[in-house]
Every structure is written in C-alpha cells, then in structure tokens.
Amino acid sequence: MRILMVLTSHATLGNTGKRTGFWLEELAAPYYVFRDAGATIDLASPQGGEPPLDPKSDAPDAQTEHTRRFRNDAAAQRALATTKKLATVSASDYDAVFYPGGHGPMWDLVKDPASIELIEKTFASGKPLAAVCHAPGALRDARAPDGSPLVRGRDVTGFTNEEEAAVGLTDVVPFLLEDALKEKGARFSKGPLWKPYVRVDANLITGQNPASSADAARALLAMLAKRRTTDTARASAPT
C-alpha cells in the first residue's frame, strides 16, 4: 500500500506580509493513520524539497499528539525536508493520493498543472483521492473524464466561508473555497465550525477543517480495503 501526500510550496499569505504554507496537523494526523496501517508514504510538492510550514500551525496552542509525534520522528522530518518534485511523480505509482491543507494550496496547487493532472488521473482510475480543509481548492479546475468539472454533482466539503471569516482572512485569500466549489457545481455541505466533518462521493474524499484530517485518512484506508476485497473477489471468480 503506497500513498502519496501532496503539500503546497506557497509561503506568502497574500499581501499581508505574513507567511503561510501547509498546516502541520493536516499532514501529521493522516501521516500516522497511514503509517500505523503499514502504508509506504511519499511526500511531494510543486517545488520539491522542504515545503513551507504555516507558523500558526506550529504554535504551542496548535499542537496535538500527532504534531508532537511528527516533530520527534527523525524519519518523518527527513521525508518532509526532501519532498519529491510533483512533476516527477506518477499517479500510476500509488494506490491513493491525499492532499493536506493550509492556506498555501489556494495559491499554487489550485492551478499547478502537475497537480491537476495527478488529480484527474487518480480520480479517473478509481483510486482514493482525498483533500482536507483548504486543499479541496486544488480540485477547482480539475476535470472529470467527460470534460466536466470534477466536483460537479459531487458531495464535497472543505473550509467554509464561516471558518474563513472566523480566522479573519476572507479578504486575503484569492477565492473563497466554499463559493468556488459551488460555482463548479459541487453539492457542498458542512458541519459545525472546527468539528470533524468528512464527505465521501465515489472515490473522492473531502474533509472540512484540520479536525477532519484523521477521519478523512481513515475513510481513505477504508476505501482501499474495500477495493482490495473487490479485486480479490474478482480474481477468484470462475471464468
């Protein structure tokens, strides 16, 4: 079981002069859900190398058991410092793809050609494709095999307009995630602010916020297990 996790390379929070990047909990929690299940994990980003960490996600009040474990894990730190360049990876080499969020993806992954190609090929293959918090923004310009917006008619979620307002960044982000997915025809739904909320539609998994990261990862593993069971049944069926 090989899983690719795709991180942002974007470090600037609009015109605020502040820094952004990926959100640590959204990487760390799924990372250990996958690793503890025996998965081999590769990390990639548009520029490769060490991706920018949103400093707010590294603040003392943002720490969790997962972030502390990640910080003390030498192998995880090496993997983070040496992410693969996204244009060099192939969807065919992985069983599933997971996009952690943070505000960074709203600037780079949403329009990165390699990311869009990876999303489209993973989705078309039927392999699990998951994105959490702001990372569903990377789905905005992706297309389904029939050429329609990938999210059209799909049950999805992501960082909500209310959550963006609560962090004071409504006028800073390049677009509002909830509005953008709705404009593409998605059936966008949401749970309470800051609470876990995950939607699954076909092989697409989306999580609303950082608290949804681990649940989205578990949903991905459940989908992989179901695929393995189906493949085994097909292989053993009489011809």
Tell me: pLDDT of 227 over 90: no
154 near 202, Cβ under 8 Å?
yes
Banded pLDDT at 236 (limits 50, 70, 90): low
Q: Which CATH number applies to 2-236: 3.30.460.10, 3.40.50.880, 3.30.420.40, 2.60.40.1120?
A: 3.40.50.880
pLDDT at 66: 97
| Bridge partner residues of 116 (DSSP) | none
Q: How many Cβ atoms sit within 10 Å of the Cβ of residue 24?
A: 26
Residues 6+ apart with CB under 8 A from 210: 23, 25, 26, 57, 101, 132, 133, 194
Tell me: pLDDT of 238 over 90: no
Tell me: pLDDT of 129 over 90: yes
Domain ranges of the chain: 2-236
Burial group, residue 153, by CB count within 10 angstroms (0-12, 13-18, 19+) = middle
35 near 71, Cβ under 8 Å?
no
Half-sphere exposure of 59 (CA within 13 A, CB side): 7
Rounded CA gap, 31 and 105, in Å?
A: 18
Of 101, 117, 111, nearest in space to 25 by CA: 101
- pTM here is 0.96
pLDDT tens digits, residue range 73-102?
999 999 999 999 999 999 999 999 999 999
DSSP 54: P
Rounded CA gap, 112 and 123, in Å?
A: 17
pLDDT tens digits, residue range 39-73?
999 999 999 999 999 999 999 999 999 999 999 99
Q: What angle do CA 159, 163, 169 make, to 5 degrees?
A: 95
Rounded CA gap, 159 and 105, in Å?
A: 12
Rounded CA gap, 202 and 218, in Å?
A: 15
133 sits in the region (left: phi over 0; alpha: psi -120 to 50; else beta) called: left
Q: Which structure tokens are listed for 151?
A: 């999210």
Q: Which structure tokens are listed for 24?
A: 């640590």
